[in-house]
Structure 1
Amino acid sequence: MSEREIRIFGDPVLKTVSDPVEQIDDRVRGLVQDLLDSVRLPGRAGVAASQIGVNLRAFSYNVDGEIGYLINPTIVEVSGEKEFVDEGCLSVPELWYPVERYPFARAVGIDLDGNTVEVAGTGVLAQALQHEVDHLDGLLYLDRLTKENRRAAMKQIRESSWF
């Protein structure tokens, strides 16, 4: 398994709601390994399966030296008052905009053995959990921007060298 290429804004897979993982098999084990290999690179807090072109509900995270993954994750709890935090995305290179996120999030999913796994945290981990589940729901952080910032982001995307 290996690091996979990140899909970029405009790729339809990024706007598609991901399917639940129905069975843990070699394909899913390979996907998880690819997600873990892909998130280990510097500057990456999370990688959703859709970002590497796979329409299944799984993501990896890498926050404060803790690397892990969740299969079929759901956000089961958020708390605190939403606050604006600067956010970027590997699928939208070079852009950073403030997005409203809860300061605490708890997600539950399963591991490769089918065991229930819970990941919870504040700060960057809370932001990453919300961001990655959004990906699996076919949302990009651009969808959560204020109207003015979304307009500015779309202009910046159209003028970028990668679009």
Structure 2
Amino acid sequence: MEIVVLGEPVLRKKAEKVIRFDEDLRRLVARMFKAMYEGGETGGVGLAAPQIGISKSLFVYDIGGKSGVMINPKIVSHSKETEVGEEGCLSVPGVYGPVERYKWVVVEYQDVAGKKKKEKFVDFDARVVQHEMDHLQGILFIDKITDWSLVDVRPFAFKYPTVVKLLEDKGVLR
């Protein structure tokens, strides 16, 4: 299962709500975990379905010693406080930049069986959840970078023409 990279239209679409909680969904979730762990040059801590070319509202994560899946997630409350932290993305390989996020979020979602759940995420865990939920709205972390002069570019970014063009357009590469 290949991770799609910046430039693929599915990354900019609002994902479709999941309505069937069946064996196909369970298989998709298992494949997504495998793709997340093996993804890119570094692996990841989260992966949304649009990142593998599937416009469905779900993502998998492995953060804070806990892994799981969130289907049809929705933030129902969040902190007033925000903080800026560095983010990267398997779909924008080799680019890391500062993004402002809520310090904590409470998310309602469904599990792989369709059961409704509610959970609070704090600090880095909250950052990962917000990043993955953005994917489900067609938003990438690069849309929220607070200061392009602080962007860090790793050598493997140069293998991806759409990433190089982004960096040129933002004045990161001169």
Q: TM-score, normalised by structure 1?
A: 0.85
Q: In the aligned structure 1, how far is the partner of 2:81 from the partner of 2:150?
A: 26
Amino acid at match of 1:54: I
Q: Distance in 1 between matches of 2:109 and 2:97?
A: 29
Query: Which of 14, 20, 32 is equivalent to 2:17?
Result: 20
1:107 aligns with 2:141: no
1:130 maps to a residue whose letter is Q
Aligned to 2:52: 52
Please give the alpha-carbon distance, in whole angstroms, between the structure 2 residues aligned to 1:119 and 1:88. Answer: 24
**CA-based RMSD:** 2.2
Where has structure 1 moved over 6 Å in runs of 4 or more? none
Structure 1, unmatched stretches of 5+, are: none
Percent of aligned positions with the same letter in both sequences?
Answer: 35
Deviation of 1:25 after TM superposition, in Å, equals 2.3
| Counterpart amino acid of residue 108 in structure 2 | V
Structure 2 regions of 5+ residues with no counterpart?
A: 162-174
Cα pair 1:8 1:90 within 8 Å, conserved: yes
The residue number in structure 2 matching 1:98 is 98
- Is it true that 1:161 corresponds to 2:165 in the alignment? no
Q: What is the total number of aligned residue pairs between the two structures?
A: 155
Distance 2:47 2:116 in 1: 20
Instruction: Give, in angstroms, the shift of residue 27 of structure 1.
Output: 2.3
C-alpha distance in structure 2 between counterparts of 1:73 and 1:126, whole Å: 13
Structure 2: distance between partners of 1:76 and 1:31: 26
Q: Is 2:8 the counterpart of 1:6?
A: no
Q: Residue 43 of structure 1: CA displacement? A: 4.3
